[in-house]
Amino acid sequence: MKADNVEKRNWFRGKGLMAAVGATMAVIAAIVIGCGGSSNTNIAPFAGVWVANGGGADVLHFSGVELHLSGLSNVPPKQTLNTATLTNPQDTLFDNGGGLWVVDGGVGDGTGAKAALFHYTAVQLAHLNSTSNPTPAIVIRSASFNFPQFAAFDGGGNLWVSDSANNEIFKFSATQVATSIGVPIVPVATLTNASFNGPLGIAFDGGGNLWIENNGGTTVVEVAQAVLAAATGTTAVAFATTLNSSVVGGLETINNPWGIVFDADGDMWITNEQLSVGACAGTVVEFSAASITGGANLTPAPEVVLAPTAVGTTSSLCDPNGITMNKAGTIVVANAAGNSLARYNPSQTGTSGSPTPGLLIFGAKTNLNGPTGLIYGPLSLQ
């Protein structure tokens, strides 16, 4: 693992030790959501995003109102989830009941202290303006945790969690997810592989296969659905596919990858920190579905590479971490070092280049502080 990447990830762990626009759309009866951390595409275009604010020890909700602004916007979030149980939130994801899960890495001291997964109900989220610090309805703790960072639900309601410090992936059953109350539990499966290198972003494709980003290196790997289904206890898994990096325009196509999302066509979008370039660098890369299938060891040519450009006093991509997409194809990226959110419109992501985002949320009013994972939320919450 690259030394600078270890130092960077430890910086976020250390941060855990440091100390209303629009109306609720109550007329909308259905909660339009999907599953999977930072990989949700089944979202109506006017929904907002929920951001794990790693350096702020809270979760920020920027509604569809804020997200439909343009240019450089120093705008406050609509709501803040700032319960005292949060220490170092790393990812957010919604379940099929409209409840929010927050993956908290804890203090990051190698002991797993305060690391947990916290669940907040749809009702609690709807009342954040009056009660911003609700008690989590479900808490998952485990002695297996060291520094959990990202999570995704599979089609059966099981929750999979990446732990970058342990180089492992944990599976918690749908039953465990529904009933845990904070007493430490044992994952029903723990995936291991000697080639795991700081696994961070994880996402399921349309076939139920799990894709895992090795943030400490230059690969993205796939574990087949059949292997996942058979896994129990500690299981050494083989990779169905390993995606390797190439160089396009002087930048590696896979370099310290962090966030991952699949679009409606099955194409893969990832964020790369590009730490070898600098602390405020990064790219967003799209690989077509065809380019990432059909072989165990591939070096896919990217469909699109989005590079940074200057926006005011900051950059459009400055250590990009999480990425989320709605079903209209709009992408929002969380810039951890830049303390910003970049929204790219579909018209900006069809070809490679350095487009200025349609919106960059940046400034003191935003309260963004080391944002990591993020996800579009239910339309009922805007």
* pLDDT, position 189: 98
**Is residue 373 over pLDDT 80?**
yes
What token pair was written down for 88? Answer: 């170092």
Of 110, 109, 6, 12, the C-alpha closest to 53 is 12
Residue 47: its pLDDT value, please? 84
Residue 182 pLDDT level (bands cut at 50, 70, 90): confident
User: What is the average pLDDT across 322-351?
Assistant: 97
Q: Indicate the helix (H) or strand (E) that contains 36.
A: none
Q: Is residue 144 helix, strand or coil?
A: coil
Is the four-CA dihedral 319, 329, 361, 367 of positive or negative sign?
Answer: negative
Q: What's the pLDDT at 306?
A: 98
Q: How confident is the model at residue 244 (pLDDT cuts 50, 70, 90)?
A: very high
Residue 292, token pair as written in the block: 């990432």
Q: Are 40 and 93 in contact (CB under 8 A)?
A: yes
Instruction: Output the DSSP codes for 164-231.
Output: TTTTEEEEE-HHHHHH-BSS----SEEEE-TT--SEEEEEE-TTS-EEEEETTTTEEEEE-HHHHHH-
Give the tens place of pLDDT for each residue, 266-282.
999 999 999 999 999 99
Question: How high is the pLDDT of residue 342?
Answer: 98
Residue 202 CA: distances (Å) to CA of 34, 180, 269, 308? 15, 23, 12, 24
H helices present in the chain, as ranges:
3-15, 64-67, 122-126, 174-179, 225-230
Strand partners, 72: 360
37: Cβ–Cβ under 8 A, 6 or more apart, which residues?
A: 91, 92, 93, 101, 103, 150, 151, 152, 202, 203, 373, 375
pLDDT band with cut points at 50, 70 and 90 for residue 43: very low
Map out the domains of the chain with their CATH numbers: 3-381 (2.130.10.10)
